[in-house]
Amino acid sequence: MLTFILAMLCLLVVAGLAVSKRWLTVWAAIGMVIMGFFIQCAFAVQGLLVIFVFFISSNLISLINKRAGKKKTSSEQRTLYQVLANGGVPLLAALGGCLWPHPLWIAIYVVSVAEATADTWASEIGSIRGGTPYHLILRRPVPKGLSGAMTWTGSIAALIGSSLIALLSSLMFYSDQGLTLILVSFICLSVLGWLGQFIDTLLGGLLQARYQCAVCHTLTDAKDHCERVSIKVAGVSWMTNNLVNGLSSLLAGCMGSLFFFINLG
Ligand SMILES: [Zn+2]
């Protein structure tokens, strides 16, 4: 009980800090605290630690990019929708774990957090430190910031991010299962998290609305470019980046349950 209270206090401090540092909006921070509560109920402090590593590492990379002057925007506060897009499936897994405690939920939880980490690391590192992105659907290099494109740097960053979550989770959740299973879990969870991120890019390229600037003809995710309304050239107009993130997070969760049934079920 004491650990639970201490962890909740830590969570409140982190949430307060995230708002003051303009990492999160107030609503996003409230969402994070509620999410943290259920995660702790279902997966104890270990579960909280997993999502904490995702949150802190992603924001630190963003901060380093900003400090290095590689990022133009001064503030990129995450909204509640953005938190839910990446944290919705982990939250559902936690709620499932609270209602019906079962190791299946841990696998769903871990792969969806690994996917979110891979996705955030890929976009934070790839878009700023990577070269020209390659579009998976258009099969050609495209300008930075267009959904559906990837860089080698971003892809490697995604694998490292996913592996970090997988390593931590394998050691904490599967430590009593023997060295072989820890190793198998580590490899499977790393790959599945990375694969989820790859699917995210693929879905972004396939489904997300793509626009072309009427003035400079640049392809963009934005509805406006060069102070003019852009022309939609592909994708579904209501399919936003948050929806694509949520969808791929759901698929990552499904892959997590598959991992459970094959290796641990
Ligand atoms: Zn333009």
Q: Ligand 1 centre from 229 Cα, in Å?
A: 9
- What pLDDT digit, counting tens, does each position of 158-184 carry? 999 999 999 999 999 998 888 999 999
Under the banding of pLDDT at 50, 70 and 90, the label for residue 72 is low
Q: How far does CA 236 lie from the centroid of its chain? A: 22
Q: Ligand 1 centre from 135 Cα, in Å?
A: 19
Dihedral pair phi/psi, residue 143, rounded to 5°: -65, 155
Sequence ranges of the domains in the chain: 2-66+78-264
Q: Ligand 1 centre from 150 Cα, in Å?
A: 21
Under the banding of pLDDT at 50, 70 and 90, the label for residue 144 is confident
User: What is the pTM (predicted TM-score) of this model?
Assistant: 0.93
Say if residue 60 is exposed, middle or buried (CB neighbours under 10 Å; 0-12, 13-18, 19+): exposed
CA–CA distance, 133 with 144 (Å, rounded to integer): 6
**pLDDT reported for residue 71:** 62
- What pLDDT digit, counting tens, does each position of 52-62 carry? 999 999 989 98
- What pLDDT digit, counting tens, does each position of 169-226 carry? 999 999 888 899 999 999 999 999 999 999 999 999 999 999 999 999 999 998 899 9
Q: Ligand 1 centre from 221 Cα, in Å?
A: 12
**pLDDT reported for residue 74:** 44
Q: Ligand 1 centre from 20 Cα, in Å?
A: 35
**pLDDT reported for residue 75:** 52
**pLDDT reported for residue 67:** 83
Largest CA distance in the chain: 61
- What pLDDT digit, counting tens, does each position of 90-133 carry? 999 999 999 999 999 999 999 999 999 999 999 989 877 888 99
Q: Ligand 1 centre from 37 Cα, in Å?
A: 45
Check residues 68 and 160 and name the one with the higher pLDDT.
160
For residue 46, pLDDT beyond 60: yes
Strand partners, 255: none
Q: Residues of 236-245 as b/e, b for ≥16 C-beta within 10 angstroms? A: eeebbbbbbb
Give the number of other Cβ atoms within 10 Å of residue 149's Cβ.
26
